């Protein structure tokens, strides 16, 4: 049997058609308006990046909280000490609070 | 074919125009009707996200289904070999059907490796030249011609 005869034998038949349900599966179930990935991908990427950065900054955030707590404790001790030295009354506490806050170093500002 | 913005009609028209050919190509590579349906569905599903490509050409789709099929063969070899949807040939008309001959040719086709079956399909059923097949497969024309030669030799021995 030569090549042409084999090809002729093959051409007596055809390859099966797709099942009718395939069109329904692909087209009808594709829904209405198609939302392109280019529309939602930037938002999704931004959200993922934000989540990653937030989790990566967990250590720094904990350190900042710790320092803020320490400063608050130190400030209240100082106010207590100054208020006692001024007599200990409500007016003394008010004056001590003002004095301590004024005495604290101010954050540097740029011109 | 120009796509009206994100419509089911666009996908439907594209399906009506290309799906049958893509399905037959997938059937010949995979030798599995169910898997071929999956491959076609994958290709069309991915097209939905290709809003940036206004022109979807037959060659692009053919290359896409080819990549999908060979990817499936690499990743799901065991399932594909176990599948039983291997009836891949049918008569041109019921009157012309010769079941014994059809089953013998089908058995000979199924005995070929996927890449040889692919070349037989593109050459005999799609009428592509060796050069066109080589361009599609990313192989040299000599490789494609050899595959065809090996395929016919094997089929000749079986028929």
Domain that holds residue A91: 59-106
- Asked if the model's pLDDT at residue A34 lies above 50, the reply is no
Kindly determine whether residue B49 and residue A37, on different chains, have CB atoms separated by under 8 Å: yes
- Tell which of B67, B88, B109 closes a domain: B88
Residues B58 and B125 in one domain: no
Domain that holds residue B155: 96-159
Domain assignment of residue A83, yes or no: yes
How many angstroms away from the CA of A105 is the closest CA of chain B?
57
More confident residue, B5 or A1: A1
Residues B110 and B65 in one domain: no
Domain assignment of residue A100, yes or no: yes
Residue of chain A minimizing CA distance to B120: A7
Residues B81 and B149 in one domain: no
Instruction: Count Cβ atoms below 10 Å from residue B105 Cβ, excluding itself.
Output: 21
- Tell which of B51, B68, B88 closes a domain: B88
Domain assignment of residue A31, yes or no: no
Residue whose token pair is 């038949």: A13
More confident residue, B112 or A91: B112
First to last CA, chain A: 95
| Count of domains observed in chain A | 1
Residues B8 and B55 in one domain: yes
Residues B54 and B119 in one domain: no
| Count of domains observed in chain B | 2
How many Å apart are CA A74 and CA A81, to the nearest integer? 11
Residue of chain B minimizing CA distance to A9: B105
Note the pLDDT tens digit of each residue in A61-89. Answer: 887 777 777 888 888 888 888 888 888 88
The SS3 of residue A13 is strand
Q: Is the dihedral of CA B62, B68, B74, B79 positive or negative?
A: negative
How many angstroms away from the CA of B6 is the closest CA of chain A?
5
pLDDT, block means (10 residues), chain B with 159 residues:
61 90 95 92 83 69 93 73 69 81 92 95 95 94 96 93
Across the interface, of A16, A31, A38, the residue whose CB is closest to B88 is: A16
Contacts (Cβ under 8 Å, ≥6 apart) of A61: none
**Best residue in A2, A22, A37 for a mutation probing chain B (most B CBs within 10 Å):** A22
Across the interface, of B12, B24, B49, the residue whose CB is closest to A15 is: B24
Residues B13 and B84 in one domain: yes
Q: Give the ranges where chain A is alpha helix by DSSP (H).
A: 3-11, 20-26, 37-56, 58-85, 90-103
How many angstroms away from the CA of B60 is the closest CA of chain A?
18
Question: Which residues of chain B make contact with A17, given a CB cutoff of 8 A?
Answer: 20, 23-24, 90
Across the interface, of B27, B98, B159, the residue whose CB is closest to A1 is: B159
Kindly determine whether residue B124 and residue A23, on different chains, have CB atoms separated by under 8 Å: no
More confident residue, B130 or A52: B130
- Tell which of B48, B71, B88 closes a domain: B88
The SS3 of residue A33 is coil
Across the interface, of A6, A13, A26, the residue whose CB is closest to B89 is: A13
Where residue B157 sits, what CATH number does that domain have? 1.10.10.10
User: What are the residues facing B91 on neighbouring strands?
Assistant: A13
Q: What is the pLDDT of residue B10?
A: 81
Residues B2 and B73 in one domain: yes
Length in residues, chain B: 159
Domain assignment of residue A102, yes or no: yes
How many Å apart are CA A56 and CA A89, to the nearest integer? 47
Residues B103 and B137 in one domain: yes
* Residue B158 contacts A where some CB pair is shorter than 8 Å: no
Residues B17 and B71 in one domain: yes
* Residue B48 contacts A where some CB pair is shorter than 8 Å: yes
How many angstroms away from the CA of B92 is the closest CA of chain A?
5
Residues B111 and B43 in one domain: no
Q: What is the pLDDT of residue A108?
A: 65
**Best residue in B3, B8, B33 for a mutation probing chain A (most A CBs within 10 Å):** B8
- Asked if the model's pLDDT at residue A17 lies above 70, the reply is yes
Residues B77 and B17 in one domain: yes
Domain assignment of residue A111, yes or no: no
């Amino acid at each position: 049997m030569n090549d042409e005869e084999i090809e002729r034998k093959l051409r007596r038949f055809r390859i099966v058609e797709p099942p009718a349900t395939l069109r329904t599966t692909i087209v009808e179930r594709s829904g209405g308006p198609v939302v392109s990935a280019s529309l939602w991908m930037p938002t999704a990427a931004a959200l993922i990046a934000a989540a990653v950065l937030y989790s990566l900054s967990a250590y720094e955030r904990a350190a900042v909280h710790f320092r803020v707590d320490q400063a608050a404790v130190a400030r209240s001790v100082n106010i207590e000490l100054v208020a006692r030295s001024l007599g200990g009354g409500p007016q003394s506490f008010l004056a001590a609070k003002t004095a301590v806050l004024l005495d604290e170093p101010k954050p540097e500002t740029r011109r | 074919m120009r796509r009206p913005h994100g419509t089911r009609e666009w996908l439907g028209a594209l399906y009506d125009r290309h799906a049958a050919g893509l399905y037959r190509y997938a059937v010949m590579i995979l030798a599995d009707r169910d898997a071929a349906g999956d491959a076609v569905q994958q290709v069309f599903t991915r097209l939905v996200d290709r809003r940036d490509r206004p022109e979807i050409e037959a060659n692009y789709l053919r290359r896409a289904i080819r990549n999908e099929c060979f990817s499936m063969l690499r990743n799901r070899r065991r399932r594909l070999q176990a599948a039983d949807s291997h009836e891949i040939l049918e008569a041109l008309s019921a009157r012309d059907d010769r079941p014994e001959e059809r089953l013998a040719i089908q058995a000979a086709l199924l005995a070929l490796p996927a890449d040889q079956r692919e070349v037989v399909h593109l050459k005999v059923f799609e009428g592509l030249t060796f050069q066109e097949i080589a361009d599609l497969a990313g192989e040299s024309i000599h490789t494609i011609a050899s595959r065809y030669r090996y395929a016919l030799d094997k089929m000749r021995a079986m028929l």
